[in-house]
Amino acid sequence: YCNRGLAKSGLQDYMGAIKDFSKYIELNPFGLNSHFYWLRGLAKYELQDYRGAIDDFSKAIGIEPEFADAYYDRGLAEDNLKDYQGAITDYSKAIEMNITYIGAYYNRGLAKNKLQYYRGAISDFSKVIEIDPKNAEAYFYRGMTKYKIGQKDNGCLDLSKAGELGDTQAYELIKEFCQ
């Protein structure tokens, strides 16, 4: 069931993967199934069953409290349900376990932006850039966030850098906001 579930996930047969991972968990009730709850959660996430995904990620975390990816993915599901504070908490927990978790910093920055925690968002995007200086999206969102808080010149510099790194949308915004 394990390998078949993985194969079905790879083929984007998420319903089939959920059935196989569920059967594996059922047949191994005393095993450390954190990974299989997480995999089943990922399949539910792909089907936009965010609440079901959160339940499975939570079960994985309950079994393995230091499972950074489960916290990260639970944060993504919470983000999709507009529970930005919950998402920030889970991204922060993932970062606690892996201080170079670029996706967690990036998505935490996006969630903070949605809650208008602009300075915190800028800090998270800056951390992404520190880890990966060629991350165009981080420059783009940091630039837009700086612009929102009145740092027009610095925001425009970040948008320009995003454009240099291949984000064509940045150039459109430069024309609109930075002339």
The pLDDT tens digits for 55-68 are: 999 999 999 999 99
- CB neighbours (10 Å) of residue 16? 16
What's the pLDDT at 33?
82
What's the pLDDT at 62?
94
pLDDT in tens, 143-156: 999 999 999 999 99
What's the pLDDT at 2?
75
CA 55/CA 58 separation, integer angstroms:
5
What's the pLDDT at 31?
67
The mean pLDDT value for 27-33 works out to 76
**Is the CB of residue 165 less than 8 Å from the CB of residue 139?**
yes
User: Considering only CA atoms, which of 115, 112, 114, 101 is closest in space to residue 73?
Assistant: 101
pLDDT in tens, 85-121: 999 999 999 999 999 999 999 999 999 999 999 999 9
CA 96/CA 101 separation, integer angstroms:
9
The mean pLDDT value for 127-144 works out to 98
Q: What is the mean pLDDT of the chain?
A: 94
What's the pLDDT at 46?
97
pLDDT band for position 49 (cuts 50, 70, 90): very high
**Is the CB of residue 76 less than 8 Å from the CB of residue 87?**
yes
